[in-house]
């Protein structure tokens, strides 16, 4: 279970892997896979054959060996790791946007959240953890097969108790009336979010927060124009993440010319190669030095979309009551 509802069963590296558990098989930072542990099953990859039976009883975080001596790590499933391994049915939100959304929507355990649309379920999974154990996420997608696939993923991850998936065109029909005035936060990922805003107004509690995700600034402009009728504190953000690779390298001392050819920008100053002593007191040997380098990843994600947040203000009828 990705988000245990029972706090006494909190997932940690001390919990042992059981038959039927979901584990994240980690080969390297950009190669991971979600695997359901089944006694008698095997995993084959470039490092060899791994028997699931060897995994059962080991704690999460264990390093396991294959028949060829290769190894992988068995990690506990988390929303962050699930975002990296899930099937992309649509473009998804990544960790930088997700963490920002949860923070600015002020989502805490016990909150009730509306989401449209569900898509691949990347954000939905993190929302479920944020509202657990007593909150709930109601997510909507107009595409029936996409909603069914997301529902299967949530059941597989043990999140069905925290998430309800519905098939509904929120732009055309709005949110169900049963949620009126009971929602703490709402998230919209729609082509025309301004069409769903009037419905979101009726769903949100007083002082509730709404977020709209849009890839184009023209969508943001129209959304903000619609929000001004009922919302206050309207803000738009673009979250850009730059990831660095930190590595330790060991190599023989190089000449000045070799350093310049390699373009080394980090590490000790270049030195000329030591000469061999003819007396034998300084035998010629390749000295190896160790240095730590940090450089931006070659594949850095740029613009994903704009996040517009707004807080529901006091309605006109409520203003009249307070006067």
Annotated binding site for S-adenosyl-L-methionine: 120-123, 141, 169, 189
**CA atoms lying within 13 Å on the CB side of residue 69:** 0
User: How many whole angstroms separate alpha carbon 24 and alpha carbon 268?
Assistant: 38
| Binding region | 120-123, 141, 169, 189
DSSP 162-176: TEEEEE--HHHH-S-
Cβ atoms 102, 126 nearer than 8 A: yes
Contacts of 316 by beta carbon, 8 Å cutoff, 6+ apart = none
Cβ atoms 145, 131 nearer than 8 A: no
CA proximity to 293, closest of 269, 265, 271, 270:
265
Structure tokens belonging to residue 256: 């000045």
């Amino acid at each position: 279970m990705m988000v245990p509802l029972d706090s006494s069963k909190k997932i940690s590296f001390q919990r042992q892997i059981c038959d039927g558990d979901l584990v994240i098989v980690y080969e390297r930072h950009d190669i991971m896979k979600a695997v359901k542990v089944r006694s008698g099953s095997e995993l084959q990859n470039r490092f060899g054959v791994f028997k699931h039976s060897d995994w059962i009883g080991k704690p999460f975080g264990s390093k396991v060996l294959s028949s060829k001596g290769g190894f992988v790590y068995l990690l506990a499933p988390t929303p962050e790791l699930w975002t990296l391994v899930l099937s992309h049915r649509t473009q998804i939100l990544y960790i930088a946007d997700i963490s920002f959304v949860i923070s600015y929507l002020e989502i805490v355990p016990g909150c009730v959240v509306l989401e449209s649309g569900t898509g691949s379920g990347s954000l939905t999974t993190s929302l479920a953890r944020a509202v657990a154990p007593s909150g709930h996420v109601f997510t909507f997608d107009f595409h029936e097969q996409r909603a069914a696939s997301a529902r299967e993923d949530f059941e597989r991850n043990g999140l069905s108790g925290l998430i309800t998936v519905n098939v509904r065109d929120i732009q055309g029909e709005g949110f169900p009336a049963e949620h009126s005035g009971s929602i703490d936060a709402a998230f919209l990922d729609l082509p025309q979010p301004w069409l769903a805003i009037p419905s979101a107004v009726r769903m949100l509690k007083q002082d509730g927060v709404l977020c709209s995700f849009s890839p184009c600034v023209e969508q943001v402009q129209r959304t903000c124009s619609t929000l001004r009728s009922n919302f206050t504190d309207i803000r738009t953000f673009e979250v850009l993440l730059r990831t660095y690779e930190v590595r330790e390298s060991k190599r023989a001392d190089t000449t000045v010319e070799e350093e310049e050819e390699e373009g080394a920008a980090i590490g000790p100053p270049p030195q000329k190669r030591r000469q061999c002593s003819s007396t034998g007191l300084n035998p010629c040997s390749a000295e190896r030095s160790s240095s730590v380098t940090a450089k931006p990843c070659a594949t850095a994600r740029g613009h994903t979309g704009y996040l517009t947040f707004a807080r529901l203000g006091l309605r006109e009828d409520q203003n009249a009551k307070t006067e």
